Amino acid sequence: MALARGGVAPKTWASRSWWTLSVACLIAVIGLLFSIFAFVISRGFPALKPQLFTTVTQGTAGGLLNAIAGTFLLVAIGLALVIVVGLGTAIWTVEFAPPWAKRVIRFMIDVLAGVPSIVVGYFLYVALVEEAGWGFSLLAGALALAIFMLPYVVRAADVAFSNVPRALREGAVALGARPAMVIFSIDFPWALPGILTGLLVATGIGLGETAPLIYTAGWSNYLPSLAPTHSPVGYLTYVVWTYISQPFPESHQLAYAAAALLMIFVFVTNLLARSFVEYKTNRSR
Amino acid sequence: MASMDIRVGDTARAVSPAALQRTGSQTILTVLTGLAALASFAIIFLILFFLVAYAYPAIRFNGLGFFTSMIWNIGNQYGSGTISRAGFSAQPGASFGALVFIFGTVVTAALTMVVAVPLSLMVALSLVYTVPRRIRPIANALVELMAGVPSVVYGLWGMVVLVPWIGTKLAPWVTTHFGFIPFLGGSAGSGNGLAASVFILALMVIPIMVATTRDVILAQSNSLFEASMALGSTSWQAMTRAVLPSVRGGVVASVLLAFGRALGETMAVLMVCGAAINSFPQNVFGPVNTIAAVIVSQLESALTDASGMAQRSLAELACSLFLITLIINVVARGIMRGADRREGRAA
Amino acid sequence: MRKTLALAFAALLAAGLLGGGKALAGTSLLETGSTLVYPLMNLWVADYQRAHGDVQITTQGTGSGTGISQAISGVAQIGASDAYMADAQMKNSPMLNIPLAISAQQINYNIPGLNAKHLNLSGPVLAGIYSGAIKFWDDKQIAEMNKGVKLPHNQIVPIHRADGSGDTFIFSQYLSFSTPSWSHGPGYGTTISWPSVSTAVGATGNPGMVQTCQNTPNSIAYIGVSFLDETNKAHLGYAALKNRSGRFVLPTASTIHAAASSLTSKTPSDERISLIFAPGAESYPIINYEYAIVNPQQGDAAKGAELKKFLTWALASNGGQQAKFLNAVHFLPLPEKIVKLSKAQIAKIK
């Protein structure tokens, strides 16, 4: 067993068997995770046909265009809301807030991150879909996603803004830069990779949410109408959850295809997020 | 730490007299971003206020029975008349006891931790110390990818692969050979149940816990590990007696966060839990139900209740879940901040 | 940098506002509710769209309760439900209960070696099984009605729906109508308080019922007839049930039809009636109307008109009642007289 770190290891029977056990655990866990990955890919890829991307869901089968478009639209609007609110929160926390307020805001963001998705979903269902009479709608769904994505974006932006070198800011201020200018022309460019990483992580979260959308966005076989209320929206996770329970093989195909697409989207956002992290670490060296 | 921050507002006032004349733009910026910062308060406050207000009739109607009764029955919607308690009425025969769901929520999450914590620690240790350099990025990438996979995809795998395997292979084998051990004997069931829920939840939280544990070990351990080795410890002793205790706080916090996640997870559990109502599992393979899952699966029935009490009782369930996860999170954050301070990281 | 960001925000805002103000092309209808009706709706809508491109009909399988509630709140134009609305609900919000087709439910079981045979079962025996009074397959009461069948001495696993369901509604109604002790005990509804039986298992959705029954030897389950192909594929047996005349009948097109015809003349003009435990020697005891719950006051005139058009098509013998649709889910068309009643109700939509 090659110890990657830590030089000469005195080898005893106990130590060696513990390490063996830990490697066994690693192999078991990695193996299981890989088998889930392989399951989705092997069932989903054969079901990924070109017409999935050009036609909408019809009856028991059809395409996924409506769900793909709906997923991206929901996430995009959710992100737009989150960018405004999340970056605002981070800027205020880092730049303007007194120390006690910083602590409180960071705590509230942590609390928000821990709220179970179904609680938010049920809240929005009762408050917006029923009481406010919005019906299943784009805006209700996007709000649900925004509530979930907010903590991830605020945390990332908070860290990113806090890490902007002080000397840079002080220099700018000394040269007579206005606070807004400091924020937009120094903080933002510096913090951008960190913020983008946060936004990508949030995108990944938003793409995969189901529970808060079932009773807010509803579901639609058609392309999203762009009307903010009174018009339900389709999304990929719904297809996975509902179509696997239909008594038709072609419906199951659709569920597997949707699951594979979700996996690919998550993979891509992950990859992008990593590349930003790498860009950031390279630059700071 | 915070007192050393150079805040733009302060510096502008102190350093640049010119900035004083331009406070207009700063005020607008402060107000706008301050409003944004208020949003997180507003959201949490609104959720709590609204759910509690909406659930109020149910809280009064159900009383303490909500926590002690195991019977969840929305009553007979085709019956005549209504029953009423504390001035609020429901369908005849209605009883909203959440004990089964509270039990299921806590037990699945706790058992998940029992399975996932040692596994995650082992995997993280082995990922840091034993995996060959070339394979490590692949293993890391897989762990990170799986941490981001949507829960409904885990649920799909659970429904199609895991549940049939437990129902036809694992459960019959365990109940026949180890049936003498309490909670392992009896009916093998369908595969849907406690074991499947714990299995799938563990697989969902392990990548998250491995990633965070790995990071705290990496950030902390090298010098400690080497020092301990130099003192003649075996590598395992160096790991468990020197490195692990030093990152204990970070690990405990990540465990509590994963616990919070397991408590609130909805879709994957819903798809494999067996959706028990009015019954406790007879063994580890028996059907269970969690608060999160029951809100999704029972909302449909609740909507048929003309008195609305079933929907309000679901809101009471949502409130309870919110409070449970809130407490867990507060504790987790407290431990994490304390640990960060002790372990010398920036809070 | 600031300008770019400001522009980006402005663009997003504008996109949002434009999207909000944009009028829909054509009219859109939303159908939501019963998961039993969902596959049929999907077949219907796909076909209907070919001739009627200007209307968009979205279908959702959310469950009967959601269907009724969304139709009342106006979120959906059609709420699909396996059960007619209760009086208490009708009093709060008077809705039209329009039958669209006739469905049935089979009692499936998985007894190794006996699944190819059709066991005889009755309401009181099923009530006994689901309340724990009848514990073994070779119980005297089961053996009495299955002379010549070698029943195993194995413990019965009763499987019930854990989620709210129209299937639970019609099954528990059969038990209630045929067994006084059940009607005074658990009663009927879309979710009922199941008696505590140590072997009992809950399952979610009809697919969950099929899977659980298939995986659990000696189990019994009630499953919607649209899943007949699935239960056959899973090699589950299905029972002949004792009807009001005391005869054991299998769910076939003719026995379902017989049951429906026997209650056709009794169906009131608001069409809220249970078809469970119908009289008649050949009547299969667990059948029901699948309803469209519709608000007669559709504020939006264009939606109202399209809704009437679609529902009328669904009831037409050269439209939705064609065998090619109904056979796929093993539903039966409505009798002529019921179609008339339904059409009279559709005429009330404004």
pLDDT tens column, A61-71:
788 999 999 99
Q: Give C32's contacts in chain A (Cβ within 8 Å).
A: 218
Torsions phi, psi of B96, nearest 5?
-115, 85
Residue A4: inside a domain, yes or no? Answer: no
Q: What is the mean pLDDT of residues B154-159?
A: 93
pLDDT at B18: 44
Number of domains in chain A: 2
Please check the confidence at residue B314 and state whether its pLDDT lies above 60.
Answer: yes
Which residue carries 């950030």 as its tokens? B219
Provide CB contacts within 8 A for C238, sequence distance 6+.
Answer: C106, C107, C108, C109, C118, C231, C250, C251
Residue A280, token pair as written in the block:
């950031």
The verdict on ipTM greater than 0.90 is: no
Residue A2: inside a domain, yes or no? Answer: no
Q: Give C66's contacts in chain B (Cβ within 8 Å).
A: 299-300, 303
A15 plus A61 within the same structural domain: no
CA–CA dist B216, B246 (Å, integer):
9
Q: Given an 8 Å threshold on Cβ–Cβ distance, is C58 in contact with A219?
A: yes
Instruction: Please tell me which of B184-198, B288-302, C40-54, C268-282 the model is most confident about, judged by mean pLDDT.
Output: C268-282
Which of B170, B290, B304, B311 is best to mutate for the C interface (most C CBs within 10 A)? B304
pLDDT at A282: 66
CA–CA dist A102, A100 (Å, integer):
5
pLDDT at B5: 45
A15 plus A121 within the same structural domain: no
CA–CA dist C53, A222 (Å, integer):
12
Classify burial at B266, counting beta carbons within 10 Å of its beta carbon; exposed 0-12, middle 13-18, buried 19 or more: buried
A122 plus A133 within the same structural domain: yes
Please check whether residue C92 touches B, CB under 8 A: yes
Which residue carries 């309000």 as its tokens? B312
Residue B185, token pair as written in the block:
């004997």
- Chains touching B (at least 3 CB pairs under 8 A) are A, C
Residue A73: inside a domain, yes or no? Answer: yes
Which residue carries 């689901």 as its tokens? C130
CA–CA dist A175, C203 (Å, integer):
70
Could you list the beta-strand ranges (E) of chain C: 27-33, 55-61, 78-81, 96-110, 120-121, 157-161, 201-203, 219-224, 237-238, 240-242, 248-249, 287-294
Indicate the residue of A83, A222, A245 with minimum beta-carbon distance to C56.
A222
Q: Please report the number of interchain residue pairs, chain B to chain C, with beta-carbon separation below 8 angstroms.
A: 135
A199 plus A242 within the same structural domain: yes
A242 plus A201 within the same structural domain: yes
Local confidence band at B221 (pLDDT 50, 70, 90 cut-offs) = low
Q: What is the mean pLDDT of residues A33-48?
A: 92
Give me the residues of C, 28-67, that contact A with CB < 8 A.
Answer: 28, 30, 32, 35, 38-39, 42-43, 45-46, 49, 56-61
Please check the confidence at residue C212 and state whether its pLDDT lies above 90.
Answer: no
Q: What is the domain range of residue A40? A: 11-47
Indicate the residue of C20, C58, C205 with minimum beta-carbon distance to A245.
C205
Lowest mean pLDDT among B244-248, C80-84, C231-235, C259-263: B244-248
- Chains touching A (at least 3 CB pairs under 8 A) are B, C
CA–CA dist A78, A138 (Å, integer):
10
Q: How many CB atoms lie within 10 A of CB B181?
A: 12
Q: Which strand (E) or helix (H) includes residue B84?
A: strand B83-85
Q: Give the mean pLDDT of chain B.
A: 83
Q: Give B53 or A114, the one with higher predicted confidence.
A: B53
Which of C173, C201, C220 is best to mutate for the B interface (most B CBs within 10 A)? C201
Q: What is the mean pLDDT of residues B1-9?
A: 45
Residue B272, token pair as written in the block:
């494999």
Rg (CA), chain B: 26
A128 plus A18 within the same structural domain: no
Q: Give A105 or B241, the one with higher predicted confidence.
A: A105
Q: Given an 8 Å threshold on Cβ–Cβ distance, is B277 in contact with C202?
A: yes
CA–CA dist A206, A269 (Å, integer):
11
Q: Give A130's contacts in chain C (Cβ within 8 Å).
A: 73
Segment B46-72, tens digit of pLDDT: 999 999 999 999 999 999 999 999 888
CATH (domain of A224): 1.10.3720.10
Indicate the residue of A80, A180, A222 with minimum beta-carbon distance to C58.
A222
Q: What is the mean pLDDT of residues C153-182?
A: 90
What single-letter DSSP state applies at residue C24? P
Which residue carries 């009798």 as its tokens? C335
A70 plus A109 within the same structural domain: yes
Please check the confidence at residue B7 and state whether its pLDDT lies above 80.
Answer: no
Q: Give B164's contacts in chain C (Cβ within 8 Å).
A: 211, 215
Strand-pairing partners, residue A58, are A61
Torsions phi, psi of C271, nearest 5?
60, 15
Q: What is the mean pLDDT of residues B186-198?
A: 84
CB contact at 8 A, C294 and C79: yes
The full set of domain ranges for chain B reads 15-90, 99-302
Q: Given an 8 Å threshold on Cβ–Cβ distance, is B73 in contact with C188?
A: no
A198 plus A92 within the same structural domain: yes
Torsions phi, psi of A257, nearest 5?
-60, -45
Q: Give A180's contacts in chain B (Cβ within 8 Å).
A: 25-26, 29
pLDDT at C207: 77
Q: Quick check: helix, strand or coil at residue C17? A: helix
Q: Give A46 or A248, the one with higher predicted confidence.
A: A46
* Percentage of chain B exceeding pLDDT 90: 31
pLDDT at A59: 67
CATH top class, domain B99-302? mainly alpha
Indicate the residue of C57, C74, C229 with minimum beta-carbon distance to A247.
C229
Lowest mean pLDDT among A102-106, B276-280, C20-24, C160-164: C20-24
A120 plus A39 within the same structural domain: no
Buried/exposed A187-204: b ≥16 CB within 10 Å, e otherwise: bbebbbbbbbbbbbbbbb
A55 plus A148 within the same structural domain: yes
A25 plus A130 within the same structural domain: no
pLDDT at C22: 36
Q: Give C60's contacts in chain A (Cβ within 8 Å).
A: 218-219, 232
Q: Give C229's contacts in chain A (Cβ within 8 Å).
A: 247
Query: What's the gap in Å between the CA of C103 and the closest CA on chain B?
Result: 20
